[in-house]
A and B are shown apart, each in its own frame.
Chain A
Amino acid sequence: MDTRFRVETPEGIELAFSVAGAVPRGLAFLVDVSIRSVIYTVSALAFFLWLGEAATGPTLLVVFATEWFYPVVFEVLWRGQTPGKAGLGLRVVHMDGTPIRLPASLLRNLLIAADFLPLAYGFGIVSMLCDRHFRRLGDMAAGTLVIHTRHEGLPDHVELGAAPVPPPIALDAEEEQAVVAFAERAPSLTAARADELARLAAPLGGTRKALEGIAAHLLGREGSGPGSQGSAS
């Protein structure tokens, strides 16, 4: 299942965001809960040492503000990330992919009170599991998504172990892409698996080396030795 969320930008290109599921979001939440409890403890202690008996008032105010506005402050000032979300590589964005701002952040974080019901974030979890974009109730009302910030992309320059060779038969666009994709992924596969996959392309030679040679040709690589062409990153 493709869980990516596609947005068309005004520049006419389509961006695909990977939406984060309940597990990384839950872990980020746990990190934030721990940080919040540290804030409570430290502020209670500091106020007590400073003010003694009169510490109750300021402590209650800090607890109240942290409880409701900790995520708002971080999300608005830090481009959609609380410390927990930053640690897990998550970010809150509007449904059009732009960074979250105060109104949406306030809404989604006030509505956490509804996600919390009936107990232990029951509605929030059910909502995330049912929704195609893993949104909790607060996200739906605020029009926000939680996305992964890390792109585990492939390198855009691969070392090919073969000199460019034209393909022995004519390839259509899809087949050309498959050959290039194989060459890109081969370094991350075990040798046995790479050979096994290469055998599927018997008409093209059926070996990894043969496919890499064709890929080099398709990429337009010049020269004759492995890696002789300078980096084009």
Chain B
Amino acid sequence: MTAASSAGRARNRDRALLPNLRRGSPMPWVIAIVIALTVIAAASGLALRNAAMRASADLNGGVTVQIISAAPISRNQQTEAALAVLRRSAGVVEVRRVEQAQLETLLEPWLGTRPGDAIDELPIPALIDLRLSGAATPERVAALRAALARVAPAARVDAQSAWLIPVFRAISTLQWLAGGLIALLATATVAAVVLAARTALVDQREAIAIVHLLGATDAQIARVFQRSAAREAAVGGLIGLIAGIAAILALAEQFSALGSGMGAGAVLGWTDWLAVGAIPLGGVVLALLTARLTVLSALRRMV
């Protein structure tokens, strides 16, 4: 006899100890709502994490040099000198001057393109985009600043990642919020299962007393309740997962329409989908353990 068949027989025996528990209970629907919200919160948290990681990787070694000078000739001279110094600098893997036309394109939304608009008359800084091997640490940025000070006193050197620090902080806060939401939803699941288990215990009090007197152990009785809770959590979890994934896909479609660079990084990998898919399983385990502990605790107070 295999262990599986032995466990199956034990399940059959336990099933016959007490009548079917909580038939028609709203518990699967409560679990479905909780799981759907958990799936959405978890997927959002994971997508935000991915977006932050991708942006961080993209900007990690990026440095921007601005030559801020109102005089076009001096600006050009300083820019050329800065380019020459940067190309010789150790650790710089890529140096590129951002073309004037590209700069004007970037500024068009704010300064306009029609005749009479101020774009041609404004002293727009020259921009140099460079990429370092490794991270643009404050020390490396300071070294670049010192190297450029002699040949381009109007140069301003900034690590690109520094501009996004507030954004990363906001993303981190949102991730914590998602984590907190998941913890709250897990607590709500526990509370709902405890309430349902206690109600079922009251409903079955007489039957439990009888099987107790016939020699049933607390564990035998608890198995009936935990199996019922697990079954309801599985049904609710499946419904919740489907609803949650539908909501995620709808949100993903909306965000992809934005076309934002950072939004494009907010995608879920296959490991993320596996984690999201495992949420109902976690719900089942949580419901099962909660029901077991609740029932065992209540039975210990009975004779």
Do A and B pair up? The answer is: no
